A and B are shown apart, each in its own frame.
Chain A
Amino acid sequence: DTEVTQTPKHLVMGMTNKKSLKCEQHMGHRAMYWYKQKAKKPPELMFVYSYEKLSINESVPSRFSPECPNSSLLNLHLHALQPEDSALYLCASSREQGVKTQYFGPGTRLLVL
């Protein structure tokens, strides 16, 4: 089973709202990732967690706050977002960080009004 699940599938929020995106995998993977993808563009890496510790933060604004409560779960907390943050947010996991196959979830399509 190579399934990564994400909830919600769609999210509409105002600029003053606080919301969270959730990602889950049960493959025993120890690396989890958040990517942001704008229309017709490749995914851009935001954060990497390795063994539940933040390994990489690609200079993401503080209005995005990741959290890894355990080895199967990854959250992305959103607060005071801007309209330009509207995008598809993809979660991925791999056996370990590094040159390992990453498996992607279906994504959360976020619209910020």
Chain B
Amino acid sequence: QQPVQSPQAVILREGEDAVINCSSSKALYSVHWYRQKHGEAPVFLMILLKGGEQKGHEKISASFNEKKQQSSLYLTASQLSYSGTYFCGTFYQTGANNLFFGTGTRLTVIP
């Protein structure tokens, strides 16, 4: 039931852009995005509740395509502080009322 994220890892130079994808084989009700730095707690970034919804958080935004059962996280003009592992978390339209975390994407921003 775990959503699959791509890419697994990406290295960026400061100022470059990145896209992280989250795909599910089951119909999604909502998508949550978290960032986790090494040895720290996952930090909530944003939640998307409706199909086609897009949300922004500074230079980080996300979209949710309900029909394709996918969400994408967009990081623009990356900063060193963006480094970490990004997880999508999904609630499904049917079944268990749990948050299922995706496989994770390790993002490294270098000077």
Contact = CB atoms under 8 A, between A and B. Distances in A.
Interface of A: 4, 40-45, 48, 56, 58, 90, 97-99, 101-107, 109
Given A42-B103, A99-B91, A101-B32, A107 B41 contact: yes
Contacts, number: 48
Interface in B23-68: 29-30, 32, 34, 39-44, 47, 49
Contact of B43 (A40, A43, A56, A104): A104
B98 A42 contact: no
Contact of B41 (A48, A56, A97, A106): A106
B83 to A, nearest CB: 15
B2 A48 contact: no
A76 to B, nearest CB: 16
B97 A97 contact: yes
27 contacts: A4-B41, A40-B104, A40-B106, A41-B104, A42-B2, A42-B104, A43-B42, A43-B101, A44-B101, A45-B98, A45-B99, A48-B98, A56-B96, A58-B98, A98-B91, A98-B97, A99-B29, A101-B44, A101-B47, A102-B44, A104-B34, A104-B42, A104-B43, A105-B41, A106-B40, A107-B41, A109-B39
Of A42, A101, A109, most buried by chain B (CB within 10 Å of CB) is A42
Contacts of B103: 42
A66 B32 CA distance: 26
Contacts of A98: 91, 97
B102 interface: yes
Nearest to A90: B41
